[in-house]
Protein backbone atom coordinates (compact mmCIF):
# COMPACT_ATOMS: atom_id res chain seq x y z
CA UNK A 1 0.00 0.00 0.00
CA UNK A 2 1.13 3.54 -0.75
CA UNK A 3 0.01 6.45 1.44
CA UNK A 4 -1.34 9.51 -0.35
CA UNK A 5 -0.83 12.95 1.16
CA UNK A 6 -3.30 15.82 0.88
CA UNK A 7 -1.19 17.70 -1.66
CA UNK A 8 -1.17 14.73 -4.05
CA UNK A 9 -4.96 14.45 -3.83
CA UNK A 10 -5.47 18.19 -4.29
CA UNK A 11 -3.16 18.31 -7.32
CA UNK A 12 -5.01 15.34 -8.83
CA UNK A 13 -8.47 16.88 -8.43
CA UNK A 14 -7.62 20.57 -8.93
CA UNK A 15 -5.29 20.06 -11.90
CA UNK A 16 -3.81 23.46 -11.12
CA UNK A 17 -0.06 22.87 -11.41
CA UNK A 18 1.25 21.44 -14.69
CA UNK A 19 4.14 19.51 -13.15
CA UNK A 20 2.66 18.30 -9.86
CA UNK A 21 -0.79 17.60 -11.33
CA UNK A 22 0.79 15.45 -14.04
CA UNK A 23 2.76 13.53 -11.39
CA UNK A 24 -0.37 13.04 -9.29
CA UNK A 25 -2.29 11.82 -12.34
CA UNK A 26 0.51 9.38 -13.21
CA UNK A 27 0.64 8.08 -9.64
CA UNK A 28 -3.09 7.62 -9.11
CA UNK A 29 -4.09 6.40 -12.56
CA UNK A 30 -1.06 4.35 -13.54
CA UNK A 31 1.03 3.36 -10.51
CA UNK A 32 -1.67 2.35 -8.04
CA UNK A 33 -3.13 -1.12 -8.48
CA UNK A 34 -5.50 -3.38 -6.59
CA UNK A 35 -2.40 -5.25 -5.35
CA UNK A 36 -0.67 -2.02 -4.32
CA UNK A 37 -3.46 0.49 -3.64
CA UNK A 38 -3.24 4.04 -2.40
CA UNK A 39 -4.18 4.65 1.23
CA UNK A 40 -6.11 7.81 2.09
CA UNK A 41 -6.19 8.63 5.79
CA UNK A 42 -9.08 10.55 7.31
CA UNK A 43 -6.76 13.48 7.95
CA UNK A 44 -5.70 13.65 4.29
CA UNK A 45 -9.31 13.30 3.12
CA UNK A 46 -10.71 16.00 5.41
CA UNK A 47 -7.84 18.34 4.50
CA UNK A 48 -8.50 17.68 0.80
CA UNK A 49 -12.20 18.48 1.21
CA UNK A 50 -11.35 21.68 3.07
CA UNK A 51 -8.83 22.83 0.44
CA UNK A 52 -11.13 22.04 -2.49
CA UNK A 53 -14.01 23.93 -0.88
CA UNK A 54 -12.10 26.92 0.53
CA UNK A 55 -9.25 27.46 -1.90
CA UNK A 56 -10.81 26.17 -5.11
CA UNK A 57 -14.42 27.13 -4.33
CA UNK A 58 -15.82 23.69 -5.16
CA UNK A 59 -19.32 23.31 -3.77
CA UNK A 60 -20.13 20.62 -1.22
CA UNK A 61 -22.01 18.38 -3.66
CA UNK A 62 -19.15 18.52 -6.17
CA UNK A 63 -16.74 17.49 -3.41
CA UNK A 64 -19.14 14.71 -2.36
CA UNK A 65 -19.00 13.40 -5.94
CA UNK A 66 -15.19 13.37 -5.70
CA UNK A 67 -15.39 11.37 -2.46
CA UNK A 68 -17.84 8.98 -4.09
CA UNK A 69 -15.37 8.38 -6.94
CA UNK A 70 -12.64 7.66 -4.40
CA UNK A 71 -14.85 5.24 -2.48
CA UNK A 72 -15.61 3.36 -5.70
CA UNK A 73 -12.00 3.28 -6.94
CA UNK A 74 -10.59 -0.26 -6.70
CA UNK A 75 -7.05 1.13 -6.38
CA UNK A 76 -7.76 3.22 -3.26
CA UNK A 77 -8.29 2.27 0.38
CA UNK A 78 -9.96 4.92 2.54
CA UNK A 79 -9.63 4.83 6.30
CA UNK A 80 -13.04 4.33 7.96
CA UNK A 81 -14.73 4.03 4.58
CA UNK A 82 -18.16 3.30 6.09
CA UNK A 83 -18.17 6.55 8.07
CA UNK A 84 -16.80 8.45 5.05
CA UNK A 85 -19.68 7.02 3.00
CA UNK A 86 -22.22 8.19 5.62
CA UNK A 87 -20.74 11.70 5.60
CA UNK A 88 -20.64 11.83 1.80
CA UNK A 89 -24.28 10.72 1.59
CA UNK A 90 -25.34 13.38 4.10
CA UNK A 91 -23.63 16.06 2.02
CA UNK A 92 -25.29 14.82 -1.17
CA UNK A 93 -28.66 15.02 0.58
CA UNK A 94 -27.92 18.49 2.02
CA UNK A 95 -27.99 17.26 5.62
CA UNK A 96 -24.71 18.74 6.87
CA UNK A 97 -21.06 19.41 6.22
CA UNK A 98 -18.71 16.55 5.44
CA UNK A 99 -16.49 17.12 8.45
CA UNK A 100 -19.37 17.52 10.93
CA UNK A 101 -21.16 14.37 9.79
CA UNK A 102 -17.86 12.47 9.77
CA UNK A 103 -17.09 13.60 13.33
CA UNK A 104 -20.51 12.39 14.45
CA UNK A 105 -20.20 9.07 12.62
CA UNK A 106 -16.76 8.41 14.09
CA UNK A 107 -18.02 9.30 17.56
CA UNK A 108 -20.94 6.90 17.19
CA UNK A 109 -18.58 4.17 15.99
CA UNK A 110 -16.43 4.76 19.08
CA UNK A 111 -19.48 4.40 21.32
CA UNK A 112 -20.17 8.06 22.10
CA UNK A 113 -23.74 8.71 23.25
CA UNK A 114 -23.55 12.27 21.91
CA UNK A 115 -21.08 14.68 20.33
CA UNK A 116 -21.10 18.08 22.03
CA UNK A 117 -20.51 21.18 19.95
CA UNK A 118 -20.77 24.96 20.03
CA UNK A 119 -21.72 24.91 16.32
CA UNK A 120 -25.49 25.50 16.07
CA UNK A 121 -25.67 23.97 12.58
CA UNK A 122 -23.82 20.83 13.67
CA UNK A 123 -26.04 20.57 16.76
CA UNK A 124 -29.00 19.90 14.45
CA UNK A 125 -27.35 16.71 13.17
CA UNK A 126 -28.31 13.33 14.67
CA UNK A 127 -26.02 12.44 17.57
CA UNK A 128 -25.00 16.06 18.27
CA UNK A 129 -26.04 18.47 21.02
CA UNK A 130 -25.07 21.99 22.00
CA UNK A 131 -22.41 22.06 24.71
Is the pLDDT assigned to residue 94 strictly greater than 90?
Answer: no
Distance (Å) of CA 38 to CA 3, 23, 76, 97: 6, 14, 5, 25
What tens digit of pLDDT does each residue of 23-70 get?
999 999 999 999 999 999 999 999 999 999 999 999 988 999 999 999
What tens digit of pLDDT does each residue of 12-36 get?
999 999 999 999 999 999 999 999 9
pTM comes to: 0.90
pLDDT, the chain, mean: 95
Q: Which of 74, 111, 76, 105 is nearest to 89 (CA)?
A: 105
Domains and CATH numbers, the chain: 2-130 (3.40.50)
**How many angstroms separate the CA atoms of 112 and 122, rounded?**
16
Amino acid sequence: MIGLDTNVLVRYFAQDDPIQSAKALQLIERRLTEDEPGFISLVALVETVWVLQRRYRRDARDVAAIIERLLQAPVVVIENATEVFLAMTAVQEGRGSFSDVLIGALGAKAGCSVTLTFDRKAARLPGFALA
